[in-house]
């Protein structure tokens, strides 16, 4: 097979003809039930979830009331990507989302890669939401006096890792009561779980329950899914508006001073968490074939969803930071927390119920998206034909929906929430990057049929260099030390928690003796808490550096340097090199500014994720390439046509 054939493309005309011929090929058509209102509701259902009920608290604690600018920045970044999605959705109104768009813009191999990435995005996103739903649901049960054993409401990895970390900290002198609440529950789940041989049975059973229920609903039909989604959206919007209406009477404007207590860096600190609160609007594009008028309704649905959710996020952030000090909001359930603090416990109960509804609606939208990606890839021959089977009565991709249920349910029992959240983010951002790049690739091609929606054109030829110049002035003029530390790979001191958890028993004793000699006031007959002793020096960078330098342990425990430090900077270096390439490309080709900014913003947020996420993501893509060259390349409809 020639190298060029890897990049064989589908034309928009061929895709539209294929949709018309689906019935003759044995593929039933999907039911057309969705309007702009339904699509907007799906977008709100996907976006208003963890952002309102969880991550907004941590982001507010870091940025203060100025966190509203973070929501605006993230909405802007997602808005740039949404323009690109909307243009493609109007141009190619079929199921498949970024996968189908990449087939048109870049060719088959890139389409396969993005389709494979989308499989991970939706599967991992579903797992993430299912785990979060389980946390809210068990919390609601506990508020009603029903307590499930810890080992049936926690995943295996969290329990195992939490047990190891808690053991290390208690070995360092920290009492069980002083452990973080999450570590306490993980330790309890591990030690109280049934043991089969050496295997501890720890599994998140509520997560399994909600996945089964949502999968059954999605299998049953788009009309039923739409009705359920609309009801859940109405419920949670009513709750959010109630929170704003009640909370506004308890706002104390003195809490808004200072407005940005930690400056720009504090506001941007929560960018990845807030971005995760926005993803999901792209799932709307997978329902294109089920829209009554996709070329008109899809762009409108995406834009309205982002606009409405941004207004809600900003209003909630201002109310929360006005009701209590921003410094108190670093909690997992900020809405319930502030009303509890003000003795409005009846509101806390309502919020707990609405959180369960909100997370279920997010899961519904994500669970709808994945089968439709698989269906599109199957229609093209890149996956087995069964994945494109449409149920004759329910008009849904039935086989793909059932497989999706299994793919999500099994990992949700055992996987760690942090791991799956970051993997979902990198898969989503990768899709956004390619969709924005696709619009740029196609912008000057005259033979591409255009839809009713087109991204407004602004020439980036001279704007892009100016933006880069402003960034360089800020980096070397106002943030010089951090910039030079990044470039020179300056050695960094590990945190107290990292140091303490890396110690064995003998080193623990030696470190305590050293700290006791360093500062006599720390001398005590009680068993020491090493993390607490070390943490007290963190406020003074110079003193903390002196204390750590004298610890009687190896430098590898105390510091991070060399390649072990540089590897974490690789994603950012990739971003910087790509940025330079984009500047040259935009100057030569007069690229459109909006999709270019979308590409840059999404790639920057990818660079902020850890190198381990990039490695895991790369492994996933390599597995996908093995499947492509082993099955998909030979069975591709384009390959059959060529033969």
Contact 275, 79 (CB under 8 A): no
* pLDDT of the residue at 580: 92
Please name the residue ranges forming H helices in 26-107.
36-47, 50, 56-63, 67-91, 97-105
Banded model confidence at residue 524, pLDDT cuts 50, 70, 90? very low
DSSP 8-class letter at 344: -
Contact 60, 326 (CB under 8 A): yes
Banded model confidence at residue 643, pLDDT cuts 50, 70, 90? low
pLDDT in tens, 231-272: 878 887 888 888 888 888 888 888 888 887 777 767 776 766
Instruction: State how far the Cα of 607 lies from the Cα of 601, in Å rounded to an integer.
Output: 10
Q: Phi and psi of 526, rounded to 5°?
A: -80, 160
Residue 447 CA to its chain's centroid (Å):
36
DSSP notation for 213-268: HHHHHHHH-HHHHHHHHHHHHHHHHHHHHHHHHHHGGG--GGGGSSSSTTHHHHHH
Q: Would you call 393 exposed, middle or buried from its count of C-beta atoms within 10 A (0-12, 13-18, 19+)?
A: exposed
Residue 396 has pLDDT above 80, yes or no: no
Q: Residue 528: which of 169, 2, 273, 23 has the closest Cα?
A: 169
Contacts of residue 22, defined as CB under 8 A and 6 or more positions apart, other chains included, come to: 28, 29, 379
Contacts of residue 507, defined as CB under 8 A and 6 or more positions apart, other chains included, come to: 552, 553, 557
Question: What pairs with residue 492 in β-bridges?
Answer: 560
Contacts of residue 499, defined as CB under 8 A and 6 or more positions apart, other chains included, come to: 534, 548, 551, 553, 557, 558
Contacts of residue 554, defined as CB under 8 A and 6 or more positions apart, other chains included, come to: none
Q: How many other C-beta atoms can be found within 10 angstroms of the C-beta atom of residue 258?
A: 11
Contact 598, 455 (CB under 8 A): no
Contact 94, 15 (CB under 8 A): yes
Higher model confidence: residue 534 or residue 80?
80
pLDDT in tens, 60-88: 877 888 888 888 888 888 888 888 877 77
* pLDDT of the residue at 276: 67
DSSP 8-class letter at 478: I
For the chain, give percent helix, strand, coil, nearest 5.
Answer: 75, 0, 25
Joined tokens for residue 437:
């790049």
Joined tokens for residue 423:
């993997």
CA distances to 265, 272, 274, 297, 402 from 307, in Å: 25, 19, 15, 15, 33
Banded model confidence at residue 578, pLDDT cuts 50, 70, 90? very high
Of 75-89, 595-609, 623-637, the range with the lowest mean pLDDT is 75-89
Residue 448 has pLDDT above 70, yes or no: no
Contact 268, 260 (CB under 8 A): no
Q: Residue 130: which of 416, 409, 423 has the closest Cα?
A: 409
Tokens 């895991």 appear where?
Answer: 616
Q: Would you call 520 exposed, middle or buried from its count of C-beta atoms within 10 A (0-12, 13-18, 19+)?
A: exposed
Q: Phi and psi of 227, rounded to 5°?
A: -65, -45
Joined tokens for residue 405:
């249920």
Q: Considering the chain, what percentage of its residues have pLDDT values greater than 70?
A: 86
* pLDDT of the residue at 596: 92
pLDDT in tens, 313-359: 888 888 888 888 887 777 666 777 788 788 887 787 787 788 788 77
Contact 617, 433 (CB under 8 A): no
* pLDDT of the residue at 18: 67
E strands along 470-522, which residues? 492-493
Domains and CATH numbers, the chain: 3-144+207-458+592-638 (1.20.1740.10), 156-202 (no CATH), 498-552 (no CATH)
pLDDT in tens, 206-227: 888 888 888 888 887 767 777 7
Joined tokens for residue 559:
């510091």
Instruction: State how far the Cα of 202 lies from the Cα of 214, in Å rounded to an integer.
Output: 23
Whole-number average pLDDT of the chain: 79
Contact 158, 186 (CB under 8 A): yes
Residue 637 has pLDDT above 50, yes or no: yes
Residue 419 has pLDDT above 90, yes or no: no
Tokens 């929170």 appear where?
Answer: 243
Segment 4-8 shows an average pLDDT of 73
Q: How many other C-beta atoms can be found within 10 angstroms of the C-beta atom of residue 462?
A: 10
* pLDDT of the residue at 525: 43
Joined tokens for residue 508:
């623990």
């Amino acid at each position: 097979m020639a190298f060029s054939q890897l990049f064989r493309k589908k034309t928009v005309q061929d895709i539209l003809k294929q949709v018309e011929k689906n019935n003759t090929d044995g593929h039933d058509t999907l039911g057309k039930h969705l309007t702009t209102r339904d699509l907007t509701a799906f977008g709100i259902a996907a976006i208003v979830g963890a952002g309102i009920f969880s991550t907004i608290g941590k982001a507010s604690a870091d940025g203060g009331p100025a966190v509203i600018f973070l929501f605006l920045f993230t909405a802007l970044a997602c808005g740039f990507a949404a323009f690109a999605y909307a243009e493609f959705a109007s141009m190619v109104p079929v199921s498949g989302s970024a996968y189908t768009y990449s087939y048109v813009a870049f060719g088959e191999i890139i389409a396969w890669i993005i389709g494979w990435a989308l499989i991970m995005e939706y599967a991992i996103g579903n797992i993430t939401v299912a785990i979060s739903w389980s946390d809210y649901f068990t919390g609601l049960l506990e508020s009603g006096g029903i307590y499930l054993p810890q080992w049936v409401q926690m995943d295996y990895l969290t329990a195992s890792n939490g047990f190891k970390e808690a053991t290390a900290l208690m070995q360092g002198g920290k009492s069980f009561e002083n452990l973080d609440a999450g570590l306490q529950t993980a330790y309890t789940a591990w030690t109280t779980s049934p043991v089969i041989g050496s295997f501890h049975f720890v599994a998140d059973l509520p997560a399994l329950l909600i996945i089964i229920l949502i999968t059954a609903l999605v299998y049953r039909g788009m009309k039923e899914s739409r009705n359920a989604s609309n009801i859940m959206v109405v419920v949670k919007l009513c709750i959010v508006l109630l929170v704003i209406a009640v909370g506004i009477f308890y706002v104390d404007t003195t809490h808004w001073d200072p407005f940005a207590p930690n400056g720009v860096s504090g506001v941007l600190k929560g960018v990845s968490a807030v971005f995760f609160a926005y993803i999901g609007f792209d799932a709307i594009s997978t329902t294109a074939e089920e829209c009554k008028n996709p070329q008109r309704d899809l762009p409108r649905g995406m834009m309205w969803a982002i606009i409405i959710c941004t207004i809600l996020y900003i209003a909630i952030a201002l109310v929360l930071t006005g009701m209590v000090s921003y410094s108190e909001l670093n909690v997992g359930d900020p809405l319930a927390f502030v009303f509890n603090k003000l003795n409005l416990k009846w509101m806390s109960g309502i919020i707990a119920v609405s959180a369960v509804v909100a997370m279920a609606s997010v899961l519904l939208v994500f669970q709808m998206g994945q089968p439709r990606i698989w269906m599109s890839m199957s229609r093209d021959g890149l996956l087995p034909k069964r994945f494109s089977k449409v149920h004759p009565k329910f008009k849904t991709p039935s086989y793909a929906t059932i497989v999706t249920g299994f793919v999500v349910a099994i990992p949700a029992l055992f996987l760690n929430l942090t791991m799956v959240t970051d993997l979902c983010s990198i898969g989503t951002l990768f899709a956004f990057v390619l969709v924005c790049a696709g619009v740029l690739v196609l912008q000057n091609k005259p033979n591409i049929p255009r839809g009713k929606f087109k991204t407004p054109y602004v020439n980036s030829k001279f704007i892009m260099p100016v933006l880069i110049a402003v960034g360089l002035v800020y980096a070397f003029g106002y943030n010089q030390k951090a910039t030079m530390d990044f470039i020179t790979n300056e050695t960094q001191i590990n945190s107290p928690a990292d140091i303490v958890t890396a110690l064995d028993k003998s080193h623990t004793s030696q470190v305590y003796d050293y700290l006791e000699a360093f500062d006599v006031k720390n001398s005590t007959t009680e068993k020491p808490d090493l993390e607490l002793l070390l943490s007290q020096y963190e406020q003074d960078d110079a003193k903390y550096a002196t204390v750590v330098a004298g610890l009687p342990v190896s430098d590898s425990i105390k510091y991070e340097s060399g390649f072990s430090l540089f590897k974490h900077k690789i994603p950012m270096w990739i971003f910087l090199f790509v940025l330079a390439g984009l500047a040259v490309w935009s100057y030569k080709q007069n690229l459109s500014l909006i999709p270019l900014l979308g590409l840059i913003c999404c790639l920057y947020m990818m660079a902020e994720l850890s190198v381990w996420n990039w490695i895991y993501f790369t492994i996933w893509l390599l597995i996908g390439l093995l499947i492509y060259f082993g099955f998909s390349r030979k069975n591709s409809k384009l390959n059959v046509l060529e033969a």
